[in-house]
Amino acid sequence: MRMAFLRASYWMVGLLGMGILAGCGFNAFQVPRHPSHISLRPSLQHVVPKSHTPSVPSPTSSDMMPHTLLLQLGALSVRVPNIWKAQSHTLLSPGARQMIAVSNSAHLTMTLDPLSRSTVFQLLPQLPKPQGLTKNPWNQSPYFTETVDYIDGEIYVTMSDVSTSGSRYVLNLYMPKTEATTAWTIIKSIKAPVPLDLSQGIRLLLAQTRLSSTPPEATWSMGQDRWLLVGGEPATAQEPFFLLRSQDGGKNWNLINYTHWTAVPYQVFPNTVGNPAIVFWNAQDGLIAQPSYATPQLLLFRTTNGGMSWNESRLDCPSQPRLGKAPSITLMGHGHVTVSVLLRSGKTFTVSSQNHGISWQS
């Protein structure tokens, strides 16, 4: 009897307590699913410990763009609509990788080409041209390139740049012109790698050319002055050349001149395939000697303004210069200079000047 009375008393106390809680606004039969769903009367909020107040996490990029798919290849990333299908990484060659994403009407490709002996040309700056077509973070680098074409109702976008490690990143996108808004949204979502600056690129280039015979390059040092004449990838019998100068022993470099293919009027500067040699008498007066492999000639370029402009002399050789051999330039003093080039016949052809290269005699 006593035990039954105690049990009944416990039930009465429990029911009474539940009634009191219900009167205070709590429903004993509703369990909140998440702390943030708890609703408190204003009069009771002050009794809730501050540490129990639910925290709301800050939104992430995926929360802000829930309908996009993040694609990442190395340090390059881009977002595309989540209805696209992304393929796994593809190994193109040792170290080179590619990622592809497609939809029913669009195609995007990202390629990573690391620096190697065969890709050392990517360390040469791009020939200056209009940039900023798409207003994206990539268009700040001297190695950045971009093209935007509209062909047969399609938009074709190609962008590339070189990272601080010397790796070239390339993004190709084509979509119907009717989806132009989506295309520009994709482009704006690009997160590009930290780009290579010119001085970093030239230092990497010089380190690579010590291990490889390409690209053809010639250097000249005079105190803290360093001159570098380097050729790009040849196209038929032509080749773009770049003249760079450092005034602090090779730490920082500036582009002084380069091959202008479309300059009007024509600008004199090396532009034929051939290993060059370069010397400077002082900071302003210099000479470039280069064999022409297209014609049996020795090309001589002279500057009097630090490489900003050049005068050209073409001297006929007895036979074709030997491929891959740069001329040798010897400064004799008092304006006397000689230039020698090896011919295919095995003989050496030598010319000399007594007036710092203004006129020549063989």
Shared domain for 224 and 177, answered yes or no, is no
The whole-number average pLDDT for the span 129-142 is 62
Phi-psi domain of 186 (left: phi exceeds 0; alpha: psi -120 through 50; beta: other): alpha
The winner for highest mean pLDDT among 18-27, 160-169, 202-211, 230-239 is 160-169
- The amino acid at residue 37 is H
According to the model, what pLDDT value does residue 304 have? 95
Mean pLDDT on 14-36: 35
Give the CATH number of the domain where residue 96 resides. 2.60.120
Say whether both 179 and 231 belong to one domain.
no
- Please tell me whether residues 175 and 222 are part of one structural domain: no
Given 136, 155, 188, the domain boundary residue is 188
User: 41 lies in a domain?
Assistant: no
Q: Check pLDDT > 60 for residue 305.
A: yes
* Tens digits of residue pLDDT in 140-152: 688 888 888 899 9
Tens-place pLDDT, residues 53-81 = 233 333 333 333 457 899 999 999 999 99
**Residue 45 covered by a domain:** no
Residue 341 lies in a domain: yes
Residue 157 and residue 226 in one domain: no
Range of the domain at 243: 213-353
pLDDT of residue 49: 32
pLDDT at 173 over 60: yes
Q: Which of 188, 222, 240 is the last residue of a domain?
A: 188
pLDDT at 102: 94
Q: Please tell me whether residues 94 and 177 are part of one structural domain.
A: yes
- Written as one string, the DSSP assignment of 143-205 is T-EEEEEEETTEEEEEEEEEBTTS-EEEEEEEEEGGGHHHHHHHHHT-BPPPBPPHHHHHHHH
- The more confidently predicted of residues 276 and 30 is 276
Q: What average pLDDT does the segment 177-204 reach?
A: 90
Closest to 73 in 3D by CA, of 95, 93, 94:
95
Do 224 and 178 share a structural domain?
Answer: no
**Structural domain count of the chain:** 2
